[in-house]
A and B are shown apart, each in its own frame.
Chain A
Amino acid sequence: MATKPPALARSAGHAIRVDDLGVRFNLRFTRKTTLRQQLANLVNRRSSEHFWALRHVSLQLLHGESLAVIGPNGAGKSTLLQVLAGIIQPSEGVVDVRGHVSGLLTLGAGFDRELSGRDNILLGGAFLGLEDRVTRELLPSIIEFADLGQFIDAPLRTYSSGMRARLGFAIATSVDPDILLLDEVLATGDATFREKSKARVIELVRSAKAVVLVTHDMTWVSEYCNRALLIESGRAVMEGPPDEVVALHRQHTEEARARKAAAAVAAGIDPRIASRKRR
C-alpha cells in the first residue's frame, strides 16, 4: 500500500509519521452549495479555486511523546488533527498513524442533544467502533470521571457547555487510545475539571501513549509537552523543544501585532482600536 518507502531512520517505533502532507480545499465546494448556485456557476464558469490549508508539513511522533501544535487562528492546526484522526484525507504526502486513535476534536459537542448523557456514552462508543459490551463496562468509570451527578440521565440539551465538555473528554480518554488527539480541551470546564483533565493527559502520556494537542495555553505547552510544532498559514514553521518553539511563536505574534499597529497608524486609525479588532 505504501507508495513511498519509509526511509527515515526514526521510522521504526513511531506512532505518527507525516511526510510532506498537503491538504487542499476546493473553495467551490466548501461554501454551502446549492443546486441553484451550481447552475449559476455553470453559466459563468470561473476557474476552480483551491486553497491549501496545509502544505509541506512533516513530523514524527514516537509513543510516549506529546506534541503541542501551536499557531495563530486559521493556521491549519485543527486541519492537521483532522488528518491525523482520519477525518480528512491528505491531498498529497503520506500520513502513517499506527495505533488506535481517539479524540474529540471539538469537545463539548456530544453526540445527540435529545438523548441522555448515559445514552450518549453508549452512542459515542458505537460511533468510535467499540463493542457494546466494552462500552457498558466503561460506563461507570466514564460517568464517574465526567462527574455529572443526576444529570447523567437528563437530555444533553439541558447541559451547560462545561458539562458537555466534561462528558466528551471522559468518553474520548476512557477508550484507552494509543494516540489521543485533543483540540483546545484544556480551556474548557472549571478549575477543578481542568486539573483533573491535565492529570489524565499526563497519565496517558506516561503510559506510552502519544498525544497531539492543539492549544493556546503556552504554559501547558512548555510544562507538559515534549515537543511543539508551530504552524503558520498552513506551513510548518518550526518543530522542536517546546520552549524554543513557544519563544518563536511569541516573537511572531509580537511582530504581527506591531505590523498591524503600524498599518493602522499609516491608515490613520487609533492603534488601540485596531488591535482590539484583531481576531
Chain B
Amino acid sequence: MSVTSEAPATYRNAAGPRGPLALLTEAIGEVRSRRRLVAYLVRAEMKKRGADTLLGNFWWVLDPLLQMIVYVIIVTILARDRYPDYPLFIFSAILPWKWFSAVIGDATSSVVSQERLIKQMAFPKIVLPISAASAGVVGFAFGLIPLALVMQLFPDRITPFVLLVPVIAVVQYVFSLAFAILVAAANVFFRDLGNVTRHALRLWFYLSPGLYGLDLLRGLEIFEENPALITLVRLNPFVILFESYRAVIYGAPDAPGVGLAPDWFALGALLAVSVAFLAVSTMVFKRLEPTFAKVL
C-alpha cells in the first residue's frame, strides 16, 4: 500500500513574497483540500463545548433566554414601554450578536492556542479561524430553538418572512469570517488583543440598534441637528444585520403580523463589502502566516 501525504514537495527558497492574488488563490486551494480538517475541527470544538450532549445543548438554548430576560428587566426599568412585544424585539438582535461575539472570541485565540501544532507540523493555518467561525454556525442553529420558543409567546408576530433568517445569516457568516481571519492573525503579534476586542465588541453592541430601534437614534438631538450622521451610522454592518433580522422575525413595531422584508439593497451591499473584506483579510493572513511558527 502506498500512502503519501499531500504534496508539500514544493521547491522552497527564500525568494521574495508572492503577490496578493497568488496568496488568495493559494488560500482557496488550501481550504478546498482541507475541508475534512475544518469539519473535524468543528466537530472537536462541538465535542469540547459539550454541544454533542443533551446538557450541552441545553445551555445553548438557555443562555440567550437568560440574556434576554436580563435586558428586558433593565430596559423596562430604564425606559418604559418603548416597543411592544419587547422580548421578541431584542431577541432578534441577541441571537445574531451572541453568534458574532462568540466567533470573534474563539477566532482570536484560534491560531495562538494551536502553538504546539504549528511548531511541529506544516499545515495551512487558515483552517483554524475558518473552523472557529464555522463552529459558530452550529451554535447559532441551536439558538434558533429558543427563538422558536420566544416566538410562541407572540404568535401574532409570526410571518413567513421568518424563513429568510438563513439568508441574512449567510451575509453575517461572510462578514464574521473575514473579521475572524483578521483577528486570528493579529493576535499572534499582539497577545492582549482579546482584551481590546472584548471591550470593543461590547461598545459595538450598544452602539448598534440591538436593544433599541434606529428610530430612537433619529430622535436624539445630535442626529436631528446633523442628519448626515445617520448615514454614517448606517455604515455599521450590524445596523443592516439587526434591522434585517428584526424585520423578518419581529416585523414593524406597530403592526404585528404584517411582516417586513429586509432591506435587500443594504444586505446585498453588505454582502459585497464582506466578500471584499474576506479577500483582504485572507491576503493579510497569508502574508503573515510564514512568520507564525517563529513568533509563537
Q: B122 touching A175 by the CB < 8 A rule?
A: no
User: Using Cβ atoms and an 8 Å threshold, which residues of chain A touch B54?
Assistant: none
In the complex, A178 has a CB within 8 A of chain B: yes
Cβ distance A12 to chain B, nearest Cβ, rounded Å: 15
Cβ distance A93 to chain B, nearest Cβ, rounded Å: 6
Q: B36 touching A132 by the CB < 8 A rule?
A: yes
Q: For chain A residues 89-121, which have a beta carbon within 8 Å of chain B? A: 89-102, 104-106, 109, 111-112, 114-115, 119
In the complex, A40 has a CB within 8 A of chain B: no
Complex alpha-carbon distance, A230 and B176, angstroms: 49
Cβ distance B115 to chain A, nearest Cβ, rounded Å: 10
Known contacts A90-B14, A92-B14, A96-B11: A32-B2 contact under CB 8 Å: no
**Among the interface residues A101, A127, A132, which one has the most CB atoms of the partner chain B within 10 A?**
A127
Interface 0/1 of A1-23, CB less than 8 Å to B:
11110000000000000000000
User: Using Cβ atoms and an 8 Å threshold, which residues of chain A touch B120?
Assistant: 85, 87, 104-106, 109
Cβ distance A7 to chain B, nearest Cβ, rounded Å: 15
Q: Which of B119, B123, B190 is the one whose CB lies under 8 Å from A105?
A: B119
Question: Could you write out 13 A-B pairs with CB less than 8 Å apart?
Answer: A1-B11, A2-B13, A26-B294, A29-B189, A33-B189, A33-B191, A86-B12, A87-B122, A89-B14, A96-B12, A101-B5, A127-B121, A174-B3
Complex alpha-carbon distance, A26 and B92, angstroms: 47
Q: A29 touching B2 by the CB < 8 A rule?
A: no
Q: A128 touching B192 by the CB < 8 A rule?
A: no
Q: Which of A38, A101, A123 is the one whose CB lies under 8 Å from B44?
A: A123
The chain B residue sitting closest to A124, CB to CB, is B121
Known contacts A114-B47, A175-B3: A94-B121 contact under CB 8 Å: no
In the complex, B214 has a CB within 8 A of chain A: no
In the complex, B77 has a CB within 8 A of chain A: no
User: Using Cβ atoms and an 8 Å threshold, which residues of chain B touch A104?
Assistant: 120-121
Since A86-B8, A129-B34 are in contact, a sample of 15 more A-B pairs with Cβ atoms closer than 8 Å, ordered by chain A residue number, is A1-B10, A87-B121, A88-B290, A88-B294, A89-B12, A91-B14, A101-B5, A101-B9, A105-B120, A111-B117, A126-B36, A128-B5, A137-B3, A175-B3, A176-B4
Complex alpha-carbon distance, A104 and B122, angstroms: 10
Complex alpha-carbon distance, A114 and B34, angstroms: 21
In the complex, A151 has a CB within 8 A of chain B: no
Q: A97 touching B121 by the CB < 8 A rule?
A: no
- 5 pairs of A and B residues whose beta carbons are closest in the complex: A129-B6, A86-B122, A126-B37, A34-B192, A35-B190
Q: How many residues of B contact A (CB 8 A)?
A: 43
User: Using Cβ atoms and an 8 Å threshold, which residues of chain A touch B10?
Assistant: 1
User: Using Cβ atoms and an 8 Å threshold, which residues of chain B touch A111?
Assistant: 117
Interface 0/1 of B45-72, CB less than 8 Å to A:
0011000000000000000000000000
Q: For chain A residues 226-273, which have a beta carbon within 8 Å of chain B? A: none
Which residues of B pack against A, CB within 8 Å? Answer: 1-15, 33-34, 36-37, 40-41, 44, 47-48, 116-123, 189-193, 196, 290-291, 293-295
Known contacts A34-B192, A90-B12, A134-B3: A129-B290 contact under CB 8 Å: no
Cβ distance A139 to chain B, nearest Cβ, rounded Å: 12
User: Using Cβ atoms and an 8 Å threshold, which residues of chain B touch A88?
Assistant: 290, 293-294
Complex alpha-carbon distance, A131 and B44, angstroms: 18
User: Using Cβ atoms and an 8 Å threshold, which residues of chain B touch A91?
Assistant: 14
Cβ distance A97 to chain B, nearest Cβ, rounded Å: 6
**Among the interface residues A82, A87, A114, which one has the most CB atoms of the partner chain B within 10 A?**
A87
Q: A94 touching B13 by the CB < 8 A rule?
A: yes
Complex alpha-carbon distance, A90 and B12, angstroms: 8
Q: Which of A25, A26, A105, A175 is the one whose CB lies under 8 Å from B5?
A: A175
User: Using Cβ atoms and an 8 Å threshold, which residues of chain B touch A98?
Assistant: 9
Known contacts A29-B294, A35-B192, A130-B5: A94-B44 contact under CB 8 Å: no
In the complex, A30 has a CB within 8 A of chain B: yes
User: Using Cβ atoms and an 8 Å threshold, which residues of chain A touch B11?
Assistant: 1-2, 96
Cβ distance B219 to chain A, nearest Cβ, rounded Å: 37
Q: B5 touching A102 by the CB < 8 A rule?
A: yes
User: Using Cβ atoms and an 8 Å threshold, which residues of chain B touch A87?
Assistant: 118-122, 293
Q: B13 touching A90 by the CB < 8 A rule?
A: yes
Known contacts A38-B190, A127-B37: A100-B116 contact under CB 8 Å: no
Q: Which of B3, B34, B196 is the one whose CB lies under 8 Å from A126?
A: B34
Cβ distance A48 to chain B, nearest Cβ, rounded Å: 13
User: Using Cβ atoms and an 8 Å threshold, which residues of chain A touch B290?
Assistant: 88-89
Cβ distance A116 to chain B, nearest Cβ, rounded Å: 10
The chain A residue sitting closest to B43, CB to CB, is A119
In the complex, A138 has a CB within 8 A of chain B: yes
In the complex, A46 has a CB within 8 A of chain B: no
Known contacts A127-B117, A134-B3: A36-B13 contact under CB 8 Å: no
